[in-house]
């Protein structure tokens, strides 16, 4: 028997998931509790034992990312299966970095898909719905492209980009790097060519977006 906790701030949605599980898969699954917030979940975990948490991203007191992080630390054996309507690239990437075991969209969380996902994560097989898999592929491509782009630049070119981001003119960049202004202009021309752009502003915006340089808070 696989023991399950449902975490979602919408009571009606929790009821629907529980009803689907109990009507179709009562021989294999048991819903041992429900929680409408992160606080309720961790209070519940002190009183019941579970194998899988069905976790929404948007909760009233903390984000699903925060909850997942804490679960990974305090309950490392617990499987985390995210079910959420928030399928943005940023959210999916953040949950992957936490190390969740599966992610399916609320729009595609019918009984059989959910049952398949639960069984998969319990067999140590990560499970991602088709739409989530497409997002993961986009993340992979973006990171691959960023790595390829970044590797095209020499260390000196990266320093020129970074100093341009600081707003320094060519003369000060030259002084900082102990090179001539002509060499600075040559580096910038090479960077423009590699990125297919025509201005310093575009270069800095592109570099920040692709992670070639990072803005410090």
Give the pLDDT mean for 80-91: 82
Predicted pLDDT at 151? 57
Encode pLDDT of 171-216 as tens digits.
898 898 888 888 888 888 888 877 777 778 777 777 776 666 544 4
Distance CA 212, CA 208 (A): 6
Shared-domain flag, residues 19 and 101? yes
pLDDT at residue 117 tops 80? yes
Provide the domain limits for residue 117.
Answer: 2-141
The CA-based angle 136-137-142, given to 5 degrees, is 100
Give the pLDDT mean for 151-168: 80
User: Any idea which of 35-44, 77-86, 96-105 has the lowest mean pLDDT?
Assistant: 96-105
Shared-domain flag, residues 86 and 157? no
pLDDT at residue 64 tops 80? yes
What does DSSP assign to residue 108?
A: G
Residues forming beta bridges with residue 29, ordered by sequence position: 2
Give percent of the chain with pLDDT exceeding 90: 29
Distance CA 152, CA 156 (A): 12
Shared-domain flag, residues 79 and 166? no
Shared-domain flag, residues 60 and 120? yes
Encode pLDDT of 35-53 as tens digits.
999 999 999 999 999 999 9
116: region left, alpha or beta (phi > 0 left; psi from -120 to 50 alpha): alpha
Phi, psi for residue 53 in degrees, rounded to 5: -110, 125
Give the total number of structural domains in the chain. Answer: 2
Q: What is the CATH number of the domain that holds 176?
A: 1.10.10.10
Residues forming beta bridges with residue 16, ordered by sequence position: none
Give the pLDDT mean for 75-81: 94
Predicted pLDDT at 146? 54
Give the pLDDT mean for 155-164: 84
User: Which residues are CB-contacts of 183 (< 8 A; sequence separation ≥ 6)?
Assistant: 174
Distance CA 140, CA 21 (A): 33
Question: Dmax over Cα atoms in the chain, in whole Å?
Answer: 76
| Average pLDDT along the chain | 82
What does DSSP assign to residue 180?
A: -
Whether 60 is covered by a domain: the verdict is yes
Give the pLDDT mean for 65-69: 92
Distance CA 131, CA 77 (A): 27
CA 68 from chain center: how many Å? 12
Shared-domain flag, residues 24 and 99? yes
Residue that the structure tokens 């028997």 belong to: 1
Shared-domain flag, residues 133 and 159? no
More confident residue, 155 or 137: 155
Predicted pLDDT at 217? 41
Burial class (CB in 10 A: 0-12, 13-18, 19+), 217: exposed
Whether 114 is covered by a domain: the verdict is yes
Give the pLDDT mean for 61-86: 91
Q: Report yes or no: 124 and 99 within 8 Å, Cβ to Cβ.
A: no
CA 149 from chain center: how many Å? 22
Predicted pLDDT at 25? 76
């Amino acid at each position: 028997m696989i023991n399950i906790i449902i975490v979602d701030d919408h009571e009606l949605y929790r009821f629907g998931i529980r009803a689907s599980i109990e009507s179709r898969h009562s021989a294999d699954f048991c819903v041992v509790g429900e929680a409408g917030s992160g606080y309720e979940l961790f209070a519940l975990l002190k009183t019941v034992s579970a194998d899988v948490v069905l976790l929404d991203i948007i909760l009233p007191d903390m984000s699903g990312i925060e909850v997942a992080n804490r679960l990974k630390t305090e309950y490392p054996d617990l499987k985390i299966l995210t079910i959420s309507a928030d399928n943005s690239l940023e959210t999916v990437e953040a949950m992957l970095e936490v190390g969740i075991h599966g992610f399916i969209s609320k729009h595609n969380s019918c009984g059989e898909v959910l049952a398949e996902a639960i069984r998969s994560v319990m067999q140590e097989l990560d499970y991602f719905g088709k739409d989530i898999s497409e997002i993961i592929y986009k993340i992979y491509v973006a990171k691959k492209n960023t790595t390829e782009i970044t590797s095209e630049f020499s260390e000196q070119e990266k320093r020129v980009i970074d100093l341009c981001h600081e707003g320094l003119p060519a003369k000060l960049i030259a002084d900082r790097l102990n090179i001539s202004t002509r060499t600075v202009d040559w580096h910038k021309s090479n960077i423009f060519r590699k990125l297919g752009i025509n201005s310093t502003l575009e270069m800095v915006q592109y570099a920040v977006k692709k992670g070639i340089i990072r803005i410090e808070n």
